[in-house]
């Protein structure tokens, strides 16, 4: 499979397995099946609440000699309550213990949103710290420390706007090498991808199949459903593949990593196979034409009365 290269010569398989919303009880089997069929990249996060179970699956796969640790690419993410220079390494150590690993391949700041340390679900203004009170630059020092300690090989961010990335690039000694963002045919992120790719920052597409819950304002009946899109269906039929496969192939062909979530063996298999499907120039252009700038993971859940975060300042 095609890989994305890092400054230290590490190579990340461009297509991985997403684990967001994979329920405990399901994700163990999904990870075992996935690695056995050839997945080598697993995308995790502390807040998904399933890292222990993923760790169990990984440890068995390594013990059973299905795969070696160094053949796997494991990503995880720092939750919002772990911001601040001195909180990053302890949070990462917990993730490593849960995943039963000695190091990660990639650790990301999950959101440019800080909770007070110890807060789990922030529901009121007092649970939050603004980015003036708890600057990203300070949290980044903790991320750099994690690299120096050998706890993660690479570091990056998630859900960062170009504005926030630019600010981080100016102060970082170790540059962020990844921005993981929502990206699919209805939300193509062209400016973001252009900025990242011209600054040696990779992009990973989450919710590539547009599966996220629709925000309140987008629940009307006529809201298009990506996996039922007639234009993508026409391309899929002509190539004798599924709509999901066309979407994943289109993302990979833009040089963007993609992490479709599935707990179903047949869909795991077809998603993996999509990394080898090539779209023609005309098909790529037909996909490009589908952009309607529809963000589904809108960040509105960070807005609380009197709190420091708004949809507008999260995506500045």
Pick out the residues of the known binding site.
110
Binding test (CB under 6 A) with ligand A2P, winner from 261, 287, 308, 309: 261
Of 143, 185, 182, nearest to 161 (Cα)?
182
Sorted by sequence, the CB contacts under 8 Å of residue 204 that are 6+ apart come out as 43, 75, 178, 179, 180, 181, 256, 257, 258, 259
Looking at 87-95, 206-214, 281-289, 299-307, which segment touches ligand A2P (CB under 6 A)?
A: 206-214
> Is 227 a residue that touches ligand A2P (CB under 6 A)?
yes
Nearer to ligand A2P, 167 or 268 (CB): 268
Of 107, 99, 126, nearest to 115 (Cα)?
126
Q: Which of 48, 128, 206, 309 is catalytic?
A: 48
Binding test (CB under 6 A) with ligand A2P, winner from 267, 279, 284, 303: 267
CA atoms within 13 A on the CB side of 210: 22
Nearer to ligand A2P, 273 or 304 (CB): 273
> Is 19 a residue that touches ligand A2P (CB under 6 A)?
no
- Identify whether 48 is a catalytic site residue: yes
Binding test (CB under 6 A) with ligand A2P, winner from 50, 87, 262, 286: 262
Question: From the annotation, which residues make up the binding site for substrate?
Answer: 110
- Compute φ and ψ for 118, nearest 5 degrees: 95, -20
Residues 62-121 within binding reach of ligand A2P (CB under 6 A): none
- In whole angstroms, how close is the CB of 209 to ligand A2P at the nearest point? 3
Binding test (CB under 6 A) with ligand A2P, winner from 16, 112, 208, 308: 208
Nearer to ligand A2P, 44 or 146 (CB): 44
Q: What is the C-alpha separation between 198 and 193, in angstroms, rounded?
A: 8
DSSP state of 120: S
Q: Taking CA 315 as the corner, what is the angle to CA 202 and CA 16, rounded to the nearest 5 degrees? A: 35
- How many chain residues touch ligand A2P (CB under 6 A)? 17
Do 41 and 71 contact (CB within 8 A), yes or no? no
Dihedral in degrees, nearest 10, Cα atoms 3, 54, 69, 5 = 20
Nearer to ligand A2P, 167 or 251 (CB): 251
List the structure tokens of 307: 């709190």
- In whole angstroms, how close is the CB of 214 to ligand A2P at the nearest point? 13
Active site residues: 48
Residues interacting with ligand A2P, by CB under 6 A?
18, 207-211, 227, 242, 244, 260-264, 267, 270-271
């Amino acid at each position: 499979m095609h890989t994305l290269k890092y400054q230290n010569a590490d190579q990340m398989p461009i297509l991985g397995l997403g684990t967001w919303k994979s329920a405990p009880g399901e994700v163990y089997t999904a990870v075992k099946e996935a690695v056995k069929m050839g997945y080598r990249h697993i995308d995790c996060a502390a807040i998904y609440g399933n890292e222990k179970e993923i760790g169990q699956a990984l440890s068995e796969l390594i013990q059973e000699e299905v795969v070696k640790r160094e053949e796997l690419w494991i990503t995880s993410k720092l939750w919002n309550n772990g911001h601040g220079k001195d909180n990053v390494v302890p949070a990462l150590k917990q993730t490593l213990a849960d995943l039963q690993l000695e190091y990660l391949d990639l650790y990301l700041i999950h959101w440019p949103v800080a909770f007070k340390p110890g807060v789990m679900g922030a529901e009121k203004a007092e649970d939050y710290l603004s980015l003036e009170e708890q600057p990203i630059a300070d949290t980044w020092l903790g991320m750099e420390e994690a690299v120096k300690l050998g706890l993660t090989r690479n570091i990056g961010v998630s859900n960062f706007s170009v504005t926030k990335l630019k600010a981080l690039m100016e102060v970082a000694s170790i540059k962020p090498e990844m921005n993981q963002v929502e990206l699919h045919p209805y939300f193509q992120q062209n400016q973001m991808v252009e900025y990242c790719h011209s600054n040696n920052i990779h992009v990973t597409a989450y919710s590539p199949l547009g599966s996220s819950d629709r925000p309140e304002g987008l629940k009307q009946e006529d809201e298009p459903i990506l996996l039922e899109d007639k234009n993508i269906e026409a391309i899929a039929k002509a190539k004798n593949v599924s709509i999901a496969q066309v979407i994943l192939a289109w993302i990979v062909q833009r040089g963007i990593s993609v992490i479709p979530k599935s707990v179903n063996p047949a869909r795991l298999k077809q998603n993996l196979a999509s990394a080898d499907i090539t779209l023609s120039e005309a098909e790529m252009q037909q996909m490009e034409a589908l952009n309607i700038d529809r963000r589904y993971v809108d960040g509105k859940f960070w807005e609380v009365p009197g709190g420091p975060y708004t949809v507008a300042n999260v995506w500045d």
